[in-house]
């Protein structure tokens, strides 16, 4: 048999290495799949609202992030926190905004309901469709975590540094005790204000504080600050730590993202840098029409005005 030339040997060796790498990626992708709790949704149905999104939306990946409360009544818990993560691939920007949980929205099939309770009628599909219907969006991806698993995710990343004010200090330990009681854990109280490293339960309790100045508006800011701090921590993880981190975190979330989407979106986000995420909260003060109790607490908003501001924020529309 004629001997292979040196160049052919090199090409053959490289080809074998590439095949091994591809095989490893395929195996690891399958491994990831076994770790993720997935909920299938009809993506076409949740975005089919009869409304058009701006052309700028084509360059932006939008993912809904749901933080679920405890529930002793429903199989599905209310969305205590609802955010939209936007990855702008054209302008290389990452944005994170909160939607107030008590905003009183029209339902696609008639009637009205607070945003946080729309998830009770059909899970993630229902709340995604309500968001898309009211705000002319096409969000068909979501990640959901509850208060039992959030502390574990934060602990897996080594906790987060947060500045605690004197006002927040008056409330945070009560929330720590509540989460501990529900989760069967024991967590040290906080005894002073200022910047400090919070563990998972402490940071989750911080996210729940709502009885300070700014009330629920300030609470959404706290939730975004903790999530932003987690993104920054993830950015600083070395490549050798990534497999272990994925192994620890993925079993703690529920999502409809496929393996390829998880890898693709993570790669894009990490490539943009996670330390300068723009934040927002909707509706803005100027688009709140009224708020108060009827059968429950509702916030009535200017849908048209909120939609315009939300589009400007998410899609970098001037």
Q: Is the pLDDT of residue 71 over 50?
A: no
Helix 200-208 vs helix 166-183: crossing angle, to nearest 10: 120
Same domain, 136 and 44: yes
Structural domain includes residue 102: yes
- Label each residue of the chain as H, E or C: CCCCCHHHHHHHHHHHHHHHHHHHHHHHHHHHHHHCEECCCCHHHHHCCCCCCCHHHHHEEEEEEEEECCCCCCCCCCEEEEEEEEEECCCCEEEEEEECCCEEEECCCCCEEEHHHHHHHCCHHHHHHHHHHHHCCCCCCEEEEECCCHHHHHHHCCCEEEEECHHHHHHHHHHHHHHHHHHCCCCCCCCCCEEEEECHHHHHHHHHCCCCCCHHHHHHHHHHHHHHHHHHHHHCCCHHHHHHHHHHHHHHCEECCCHHHHHHHHHHHHHHCCCCCEEEEECCHHHEEEEEECCCEEEEECHHHHHHHHHHHHHCCC
pLDDT band at 27 (very low <50, low <70, confident <90, very high): low
How many domains does the chain fold into?
2
pLDDT band at 24 (very low <50, low <70, confident <90, very high): very low
- Where is pLDDT greater, at 1 or 176? 176
- Where is pLDDT greater, at 102 or 240? 102
Q: What is the mean pLDDT of the chain?
A: 83
Q: In this predicted structure, what is the pLDDT of residue 20?
A: 45
Same domain, 43 and 120: yes
| CA nearest to 200, candidates 224, 183, 216 | 183
Identify the domain containing residue 55 by its residue range.
39-146+253-315
Same domain, 124 and 263: yes
Q: In this predicted structure, what is the pLDDT of residue 43?
A: 95
| CA nearest to 204, candidates 245, 233, 174 | 174
Q: In this predicted structure, what is the pLDDT of residue 315?
A: 94
Lowest mean pLDDT among 118-132, 137-151, 226-240, 298-312: 226-240
Q: In this predicted structure, what is the pLDDT of residue 181?
A: 93
Boundary (domain end) residue, out of 237, 252, 267: 252
Same domain, 121 and 63: yes
Q: What is the pLDDT of residues 261-271, one digit of tens each?
A: 887 887 788 77
Q: What is the pLDDT of residues 108-136, one digit of tens each?
A: 888 999 999 999 888 899 999 999 999 99
């Amino acid at each position: 048999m004629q001997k292979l030339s040196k160049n052919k040997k090199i090409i053959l060796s490289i080809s074998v290495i590439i095949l091994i790498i591809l095989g490893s990626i395929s195996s690891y992708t399958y491994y990831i799949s076994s770790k993720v709790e997935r909920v299938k949704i009809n993506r076409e149905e949740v975005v089919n609202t009869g409304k058009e999104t701006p052309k700028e939306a084509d360059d932006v990946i939008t993912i809904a992030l749901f933080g679920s409360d405890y529930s002793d009544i429903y199989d599905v818990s209310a969305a205590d926190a609802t955010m939209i993560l936007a990855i702008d691939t054209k302008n290389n920007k990452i944005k994170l905004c909160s939607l107030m949980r008590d905003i009183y929205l029209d339902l696609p099939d008639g009637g009205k309901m607070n945003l946080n309770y729309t998830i009770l009628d059909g899970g993630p599909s229902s709340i995604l469709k309500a968001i898309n219907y009211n705000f002319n969006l096409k969000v068909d991806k979501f990640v959901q975590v509850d208060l039992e698993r959030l502390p574990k995710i934060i602990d897996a990343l080594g906790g987060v540094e947060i500045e605690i004010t004197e006002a927040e200090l008056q409330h945070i330990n009560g929330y720590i005790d509540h989460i501990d009681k529900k989760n069967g854990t024991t967590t040290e109280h906080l005894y002073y204000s200022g910047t400090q490293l919070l563990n998972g339960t402490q940071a989750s309790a911080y996210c729940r504080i709502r009885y300070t100045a700014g009330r629920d508006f300030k609470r959404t800011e706290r939730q975004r600050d903790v999530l932003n701090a987690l993104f920054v921590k993830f950015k600083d993880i070395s490549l050798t730590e990534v497999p272990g981190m994925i192994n620890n975190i993925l079993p703690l979330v529920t999502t409809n993202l496929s393996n390829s989407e998880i890898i693709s979106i993570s790669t894009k986000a990490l490539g943009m840098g996670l330390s300068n995420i723009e934040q927002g909260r909707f509706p803005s003060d100027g688009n709140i029409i009224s708020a108060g109790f009827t059968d429950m607490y509702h916030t009535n908003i200017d849908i048209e005005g909120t939609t315009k501001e939300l589009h400007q924020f998410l899609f970098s529309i001037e």
